[in-house]
Structure 1
Amino acid sequence: MTHYIIYFNQQWVGDHGDEWFRERGPLASAVVDEMKDAGVYIYAGGLEDISTAVSVDATNGSLEVSDGPVAPFEHHLGGLTIVDVADDGTARMWAGRLAEACGWPQEVRRIF
């Protein structure tokens, strides 16, 4: 089995009202429950607002910690799911299920 990360950037979510999100939550939770039942679930979760990010950088030889994200605001991770499945096709299937349930695109990549 191989681990895959299925994730989305917050900007892919779009602008929706509270009611829309309340309707989508149970759909996404149902897919996660199906992953658990299938024995492929490792982890799933959304991320706190980007304003809570802290950057840690040691590329200049000393450790620098600063408030805020490393990436520009328009490119930040919104949430992720990690699955342990047999092949690319199965990972894509779960990514598709999440995309349908959430209502926004998902990207899937193999973890090595």
Structure 2
Amino acid sequence: MATYLIYFNQQWVGDHDEEWFRGRGPLARAVVEEIKTAGHYVFAGGLVEEIDQAFSADATSGTLTFTDGPYTETKEYLGGLTAVNVPDVETARMWAGKIAEACGWPQEVREFK
């Protein structure tokens, strides 16, 4: 078994009205339930969209410092993620496809080392 991270950047979501998002929620929750039923679920969740609520911890200088906001100034930031423990890459691909269809935006997939 291998663990894969399926995730999206908030900017990939696109502009949609509240009604559109309300329609996607049940679809996404259904896929998560399907992953759980299959025994592949590790974790899933969306992140707070307000990037000013993020903070960073950095010890690269030899002194631990905490900074408000993301570590790097960037226009893209993580929006949500799902971790699955699956027998092969084809199964990870299948779950990523189901999540992408349910959410209505792209997903990126990477295997944990």
Normalised by the length of structure 1, the TM-score is: 0.97
Which residue of structure 2 lines up, in the alignment, with residue 24 of structure 1?
24
Which residue of structure 2 lines up, in the alignment, with residue 55 of structure 1?
56
Task: Give unmatched runs, 5+ long, in structure 2.
Answer: none
The equivalences for 1:1-112 within 5 A come to: 1-49=1-49, 50-112=51-113
Secondary structure of 2:8's counterpart equals: strand
**Deviation beyond 3 Å, 4+ runs, structure 1:** none
Task: Give unmatched runs, 5+ long, in structure 1.
Answer: none
Q: Distance in 1 between matches of 2:106 and 2:72?
A: 20
For residues 25-60 of structure 1, the C-alpha deviation after alignment (integer angstroms, 9 at most, x for no partner) is: 000000000001100011000001222100111111
State the number of aligned residues: 112
